C-alpha cells in the first residue's frame, strides 16, 4: 500500500513539475530597421504675383519591419482572443478558421473568448508578462500605452494588403507614430430610431434639431397609453456615452486634445440642462436602464424614439415585425449650435497582434484573410447593421447581402455605413471637438478611468440629477471639482507625462 | 500467515525506516504527508497564492494598461478607509448578508419541517422547492427586472389594477427600494439550499427520541425545542457559516439586478471590487478592498466555528 502511495505521489509530483515548467516557445522577435526614402512633394507658391509650382525632393526616414528571423514552417498554433461570443459569431469564426486551415493545413487557431469588461486587464497581464498573446481584440483605452511599450506588432503590410486608406473608413484603424497597430472589424453606429407612424399621426416631421426633438418628445408622450416620447438609458453603464454625443454635437467636449479642462465652460451647463429636459419624456425607470432596455422600450411600443445602434433594428423582425415598416433610423438631432460637425457614439473594435507572438507572419496572414472580403462580411452579418464594417468593400457587400433583412432595410444599412466615420468615444479621443470640427486622434485622457468608466463621475453626475433630483448646476459643479481632482492626482503621480501632439484639423 | 517485520530507526528515522532485511520503507508520518501533499499543493496554488498576491497588490499603484507597479505603502488602505463609498458598501453588504440569511434560515426551517411531514405530494414538493436554486442567477435577475419593470412588469400592473398605487413605480431605479428587491431575489433563490441541508438532517434524527418524549407527555413545541432544534443546530450553524460566506461574497445576483446602481444604491463590497478594478481601473484599491473582505470573513468564520463547537458539545 505504502509503495503504491509513494509511486503515485512521485508520479504526480513529476507531472505537476512538468506541467508547471514554463513552456519553451521559439519566439520570433520583430526586428525593425531604419529606411531612408526620397519623397517628391509639389509646392505651390505665389512669387511676385505669379503662381509657381515647384517639386521638392526630400529625404524621409522611417522605421520598417525587417524580414522575420525565423522561417515559419511546420505545425503552428495561434490563439485568437475575442469578446464576440454569441453562438452565431463563434460559428462563423470557426468556419473562417476552417477555410484558412484548408489552405494552410499546418496552421491551427485556438479561439479564446472573454468579456469586454475584463478584456483589457486580461490581455495586459499576458503582454506585461511577455507571453504570446497571439491575435487579440485591443482595448482602445490601452492602445497607446501598449504600442509605446512595444507590445504590439506593426500591421502596416496587412493594412496595405487589405487596401489601405483607399479602403478603410477614416479613423477606423489604430495608428501611432506612423505605424498601424490595430485593424478594425466593426463598429456600432448610434442613431435615433423613430416610429414614423406616430410622427405621421401627430403631424410632426422627423426631428432635425434639438428644439424639434424636444417638441416631438413632448407631443408624443402619452402615459395613459403607456407611450413615452424618447427613451434614453440612465444607468451607470451607459449614461456617459449618450450624454457625450449631446456635448459633441454642440461643439463641446471634456478636454482639449492636449488635456486642458473644458468641461467647466458655461455652455456645458446649458447642454446638461437641455439634455435633462429631454429625459422628462423618458419612460419611468429609465434612470437605471441599460443598453438592452433601449431595445425593449422600442420593440414593446413604449417609446416613440429610442437612441441605439443597429442591434435594435436586427431584433425587430423577431421581436416586433409589426413595427418594421413603421420604424426608421435618423441622425441624432441634438444640435442647437450652428456649424457643429455631426458626431455619434461608437467605438471601433480592432484586432492587434502581440509583438511577442511566435509566428508573426502567420498571424498577419490569417488576420488579412479574416479581415477582408467575404469572410469579414459573413462575420459582420451575424448582427447585420450592428456590426458595421470598416472597409468600403465589405460595407458594399453587406448593403447587398442575401438576406431578407438586408433586402428590406438596405436604407438602414446604408445609414450605418455612411455614418460610421462619425463615431466617437469619450474615453478614446481626448478633445475630439476642435471648435465645431470633429477630429479623432485615438488618444484617450490617461486619467479618464474614474471619469468615463461605468459608474464614473459623469454617470454619477447624471444619476444625481435623474434619481435624487439634484439641480443640474449643483451636480455639474460637483462633477467639475471631482474631475479636476482626478486629473491633478494623476498628473502628480505621472510627472513625466507629456501631452500628445494634437491631430491636425 | 502473519509476517512480523522488525524495523530499526535510521538517521532519517522520522521519514524512512529500515526493515530487518535492510530495505527502506516510508514511515506513517511520511505516508500522511504524501497523502495530503497534492491537496496542499492545489490549495496553495489556487487559493493561498492568489490571496497573498492580492494582498501584496494592495500595497501598490498598478497601471491597468501595462501593469507597471509602484509601491505606495498603506496609501490604498488609507484612501479606502477615508472613502465613504467603501463604508456605505460595507454597510449594504452587511444588510444584504444579514437580511437574506435571517429570512433564508427561518423560512428554510419552516419549509423543511413542513416537507418532513407525511403529506401527499411530498416528493413532488421537495423537487419543486429546489427549482429557484437551480436557475442561473442571470436568468433570475433578468426575470425579476421584467417583473418589476414600471411599464411592462406584472408587479406594477397588478398593483395599479388593485388600486394600491396610482402610477408605476420604478423600484430598481430608486435608492430606497432597489436593495430591498435585490434582497427579496436573493432570498427566493437561496432558501432552497437551507431547505436541503435541514431536511437531510431532519431525516437522521432518531425517531425513538421523539416518540419517547411524546410518551413522556412532551408537547409538539417541547419536542421541537428540546430534541429537534438541538439536533438541527450543528447543521444550522454550518449552513449559516456557508451562506454567510457565500452571501457576503455574492456578486452575480446583486450586480445583475441593478448593476450596483442607482447611485451605488446596490453596490456591495464584491460589486465595489469589480467597479474599482475594471471600471475605475484602480487595481491596487480593488486589491485592498478584497483583502479587507478576507479579514472580515475570516473573523466571522472563526466566530461561527466557536459556536459550532459549542453546539456539537451540547448535543453530545
Set of cell numbers at residue A422: 462619425
Residue A256, Cβ density class (10 Å: 0-12 exposed, 13-18 middle, ≥19 buried): middle
User: What are the chain B neighbours of A460 within 8 Å (beta carbons)?
Assistant: 263-264
More confident residue, B205 or A69: B205
Window 185-214 of B: residues touching A by CB (8 A cutoff) are none
pLDDT band per the 50, 70, 90 thresholds, residue A12: low
pLDDT at A23 over 50: no
User: What are the chain B neighbours of A454 within 8 Å (beta carbons)?
Assistant: 259, 275, 279
Q: A390, A173 in Cβ contact below 8 A? A: yes
Q: B152, A302 in Cβ contact below 8 A? A: yes
pLDDT, tens only, A377-409 = 999 999 999 999 999 999 999 999 999 999 999
User: What are the chain A neighbours of B175 within 8 Å (beta carbons)?
Assistant: 467-468
pLDDT at A483 over 70: yes
Window 29-88 of B: residues touching A by CB (8 A cutoff) are 31, 34-35, 37-38, 41, 61, 63-68, 70
Q: Which of A118, A449, A467 sits opposite B175 (nearest CB)?
A: A467
More confident residue, A28 or B145: B145
For residue A180, the model assigns a pLDDT of 96
Residue extent(s) of CATH 3.40.190.10 domains in chain A: 76-188+346-422, 204-344+439-493
Cβ–Cβ of A454/B275 closer than 8 Å? yes
A125 interface with B at CB cutoff 8 Å: yes
* Alpha-carbon gap: B295 to the closest alpha carbon of chain A (Å): 25
For residue A389, the model assigns a pLDDT of 96
Average of per-residue pLDDT values in chain B: 88
For residue A153, the model assigns a pLDDT of 96
Task: Kindly indicate whether the ipTM for this predicted assembly is greater than 0.90, answering yes or no.
Answer: no
Window 105-124 of A: residues touching B by CB (8 A cutoff) are 117-118, 120-121, 124
Window 296-315 of A: residues touching B by CB (8 A cutoff) are 296, 300, 302
Cβ–Cβ of A120/B260 closer than 8 Å? no
B158 interface with A at CB cutoff 8 Å: no
A228 phi/psi in degrees, rounded to 5 = -125, 150
For residue B7, the model assigns a pLDDT of 47
Q: Tell the residue number behind the cell numbers 477606423, with chain if given.
A: A172
Closest-CA residue to A326 (of A200, A193, A196, A194): A196
For residue A56, the model assigns a pLDDT of 53
What distance in Å separates the CA atoms of residue B245 and residue B300, rounded to the nearest whole number?
Answer: 9
Phi-psi region of A346 (alpha: psi -120 to 50; beta: other; left: phi over 0): left
pLDDT at A168 over 80: yes
* Alpha-carbon gap: A290 to the closest alpha carbon of chain B (Å): 9
Instruction: Determine the residue among A455, A458, A460, A490 to mutate to test chain B binding: the one whose Cβ has the most chain B Cβ atoms within 10 Å.
Output: A455
More confident residue, A68 or B215: B215
What is the set of domains in chain B, with CATH numbers? 7-57 (no CATH), 75-315 (1.10.3720.10)
User: At a CB cut-off of 8 Å and minimum separation 6, what does A402 contact?
Assistant: none
A-B contacts at Cβ under 8 angstroms? 132
What distance in Å separates the CA atoms of residue A79 and residue A487, rounded to the nearest whole number?
Answer: 37
The one-character DSSP state at A54 is E
User: At a CB cut-off of 8 Å and minimum separation 6, what does A412 contact?
Assistant: A310, A313, A328, A329, A385
pLDDT band per the 50, 70, 90 thresholds, residue B1: very low
pLDDT, tens only, B217-228 = 888 889 888 889
What distance in Å separates the CA atoms of residue B159 and residue B178, rounded to the nearest whole number?
Answer: 17
User: At a CB cut-off of 8 Å and minimum separation 6, what does A491 contact?
Assistant: A447, A497
What distance in Å separates the CA atoms of residue A398 and residue A22, rounded to the nearest whole number?
Answer: 45
Task: Over range A28-47, report the average pLDDT.
Answer: 50
pLDDT band per the 50, 70, 90 thresholds, residue A21: very low
pLDDT band per the 50, 70, 90 thresholds, residue A505: low
What is A204-344+439-493's CATH number, 3.30.1390.20, 3.40.1400.10, 2.60.40.10, 3.40.190.10?
Answer: 3.40.190.10
pLDDT, tens only, A42-97 = 555 555 556 555 555 555 455 545 444 456 778 899 999 999 988 999 999 999 99
A237 interface with B at CB cutoff 8 Å: yes
Q: Which of B65, B261, B280 sits opposite A142 (nearest CB)?
A: B65
pLDDT, tens only, A97-155 = 999 999 999 999 999 998 887 788 788 888 888 888 999 999 888 898 899 889 999 99
User: At a CB cut-off of 8 Å and minimum separation 6, what does A458 contact?
Assistant: A239, A240, A243, A244, A426, A451, A452, A479
Task: Over range B1-28, report the average pLDDT.
Answer: 67
pLDDT at A472 over 50: yes
pLDDT band per the 50, 70, 90 thresholds, residue B313: confident
For residue A46, the model assigns a pLDDT of 54
Cβ–Cβ of B63/A302 closer than 8 Å? no
What distance in Å separates the CA atoms of residue A385 and residue A389, rounded to the nearest whole number?
Answer: 9
Which helix H or strand E contains A180, and what residues bound it? strand A179-186
Average of per-residue pLDDT values in chain A: 87
pLDDT at B290 over 80: yes
User: What are the chain B neighbours of A19 within 8 Å (beta carbons)?
Assistant: none
User: What are the chain A neighbours of B170 within 8 Å (beta carbons)?
Assistant: 284-288
Nearest chain B Cα to A236, which residue?
B261
Which helix H or strand E contains A374, and what residues bound it? helix A373-380
Query: CATH code for A76-188+346-422?
Result: 3.40.190.10
Task: Over range A337-366, report the average pLDDT.
Answer: 93
Amino acid at each position: 500500500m505504502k509503495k503504491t502511495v509513494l509511486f503515485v505521489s512521485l508520479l504526480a509530483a513529476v507531472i505537476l513539475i512538468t506541467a508547471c515548467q514554463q513552456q519553451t516557445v521559439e519566439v520570433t522577435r520583430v526586428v525593425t530597421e531604419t529606411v531612408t526614402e526620397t519623397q517628391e512633394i509639389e509646392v505651390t507658391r505665389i512669387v511676385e504675383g505669379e503662381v509657381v509650382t515647384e517639386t521638392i525632393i526630400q529625404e524621409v526616414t522611417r522605421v520598417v519591419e525587417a524580414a522575420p528571423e525565423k522561417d515559419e514552417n511546420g505545425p503552428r498554433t495561434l490563439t485568437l482572443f475575442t469578446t464576440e461570443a454569441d453562438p452565431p459569431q463563434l460559428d462563423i469564426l470557426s468556419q473562417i478558421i476552417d477555410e484558412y486551415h484548408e489552405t494552410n493545413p499546418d496552421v491551427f487557431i485556438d479561439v479564446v473568448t472573454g468579456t469586454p469588461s475584463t478584456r483589457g486587464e486580461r490581455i495586459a497581464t499576458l503582454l506585461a508578462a511577455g507571453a504570446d498573446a497571439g491575435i487579440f481584440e485591443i482595448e482602445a483605452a490601452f492602445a497607446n500605452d501598449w504600442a509605446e511599450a512595444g507590445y504590439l506588432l506593426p500591421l502596416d503590410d496587412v493594412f496595405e494588403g487589405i487596401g489601405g486608406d483607399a479602403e478603410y473608413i477614416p479613423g477606423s484603424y489604430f495608428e501611432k507614430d506612423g505605424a498601424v497597430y490595430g485593424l478594425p472589424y466593426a463598429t456600432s453606429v448610434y442613431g435615433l430610431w423613430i416610429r414614423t407612424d406616430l410622427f405621421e399621426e401627430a403631424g410632426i416631421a422627423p426631428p432635425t434639431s434639438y428644439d424639434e426633438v424636444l417638441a416631438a418628445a413632448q407631443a408624443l408622450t402619452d402615459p395613459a397609453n403607456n407611450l413615452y416620447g424618447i427613451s434614453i438609458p440612465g444607468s451607470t453603464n451607459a449614461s456617459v456615452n449618450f450624454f457625450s454625443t449631446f456635448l459633441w454635437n454642440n461643439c463641446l467636449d471634456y478636454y482639449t486634445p492636449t488635456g486642458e479642462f473644458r468641461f467647466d465652460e458655461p455652455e456645458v451647463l446649458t447642454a446638461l440642462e437641455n439634455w435633462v429636459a429631454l429625459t422628462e419624456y423618458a419612460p419611468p425607470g429609465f434612470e437605471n436602464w441599460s443598453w438592452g432596455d433601449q431595445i425593449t422600450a422600442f420593440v414593446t411600443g413604449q417609446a416613440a424614439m429610442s437612441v441605439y445602434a443597429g442591434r435594435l433594428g436586427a431584433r425587430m423582425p423577431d421581436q416586433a415585425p409589426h413595427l418594421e415598416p413603421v420604424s426608421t433610423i435618423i441622425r441624432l438631432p441634438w444640435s442647437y449650435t450652428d456649424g457643429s460637425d455631426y458626431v455619434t457614439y461608437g467605438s471601433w473594435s480592432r484586432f492587434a497582434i502581440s509583438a511577442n507572438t511566435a509566428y508573426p507572419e502567420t498571424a498577419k496572414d490569417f488576420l488579412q484573410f479574416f479581415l477582408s472580403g467575404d469572410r469579414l462580411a459573413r462575420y459582420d452579418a451575424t448582427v447585420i447593421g450592428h456590426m458595421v464594417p470598416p472597409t468600403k468593400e465589405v460595407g458594399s457587400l453587406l448593403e447587398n447581402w442575401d438576406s431578407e433583412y438586408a433586402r428590406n432595410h438596405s436604407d438602414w444599412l446604408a445609414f450605418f455605413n455612411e455614418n460610421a466615420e462619425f463615431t466617437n468615444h469619450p474615453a478614446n479621443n481626448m478633445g475630439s471637438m476642435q471648435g465645431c470640427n470633429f477630429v479623432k486622434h485615438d488618444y484617450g485622457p490617461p486619467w479618464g478611468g474614474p471619469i468615463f468608466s461605468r459608474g464614473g463621475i459623469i454617470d454619477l453626475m447624471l444619476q444625481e440629477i435623474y434619481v435624487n433630483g439634484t439641480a443640474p448646476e449643483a451636480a455639474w459643479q460637483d462633477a467639475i471639482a471631482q474631475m479636476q481632482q482626478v486629473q491633478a492626482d494623476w498628473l502628480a503621480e505621472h510627472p513625466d507625462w507629456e501631452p500628445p501632439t494634437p491631430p491636425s484639423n | 500467515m502473519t509476517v512480523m517485520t522488525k524495523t530499526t530507526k535510521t538517521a532519517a528515522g522520522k521519514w524512512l525506516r529500515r526493515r530487518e532485511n535492510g530495505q527502506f520503507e516510508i514511515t506513517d508520518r511520511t505516508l500522511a504527508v504524501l497523502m495530503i501533499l497534492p491537496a496542499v499543493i492545489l490549495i496553495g496554488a489556487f487559493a493561498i497564492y492568489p490571496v497573498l498576491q492580492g494582498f501584496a497588490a494592495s500595497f501598490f499603484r498598478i497601471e491597468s494598461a501595462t501593469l507597471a507597479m509602484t509601491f505606495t505603502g498603506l496609501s490604498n488602505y488609507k484612501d479606502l478607509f477615508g472613502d465613504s463609498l467603501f463604508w456605505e458598501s460595507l454597510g449594504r453588504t452587511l444588510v444584504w448578508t444579514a437580511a437574506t440569511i435571517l429570512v433564508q434560515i427561518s423560512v428554510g426551517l419552516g419549509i423543511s419541517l413542513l416537507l418532513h411531514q407525511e403529506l401527499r405530494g411530498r416528493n413532488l414538493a421537495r423537487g419543486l422547492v429546489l427549482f429557484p436554486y437551480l436557475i442561473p442567477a442571470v436568468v433570475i435577475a433578468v426575470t425579476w427586472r421584467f417583473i418589476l419593470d414600471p411599464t411592462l412588469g406584472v408587479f406594477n400592473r397588478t398593483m395599479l389594477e388593485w388600486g394600491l398605487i396610482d402610477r408605476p413605480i420604478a423600484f430598481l431605479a430608486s435608492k430606497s427600494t432597489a436593495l430591498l428587491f435585490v434582497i427579496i431575489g436573493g432570498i427566493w433563490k437561496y432558501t432552497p439550499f437551507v431547505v436541503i441541508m435541514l431536511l437531510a438532517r431532519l431525516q437522521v434524527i432518531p425517531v425513538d427520541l421523539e416518540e419517547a418524549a411524546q410518551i413522556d407527555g412532551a408537547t409538539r413545541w417541547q419536542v421541537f425545542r428540546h430534541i429537534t432544534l438541538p439536533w438541527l443546530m450543528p447543521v444550522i450553524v454550518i449552513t449559516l457559516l456557508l451562506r454567510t460566506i457565500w452571501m457576503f461574497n455574492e456578486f452575480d445576483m446583486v450586480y445583475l439586478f441593478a448593476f450596483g446602481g442607482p447611485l451605488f444604491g446596490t453596490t456591495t463590497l464584491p460589486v465595489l471590487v469589480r467597479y474599482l478594478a475594471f471600471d475605475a481601473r484602480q487595481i491596487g484599491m480593488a486589491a485592498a478592498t478584497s483583502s479587507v473582505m478576507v479579514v472580515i470573513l475570516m473573523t466571522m468564520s472563526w466566530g461561527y466555528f466557536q459556536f459550532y463547537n459549542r453546539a456539537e458539545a451540547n448535543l453530545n
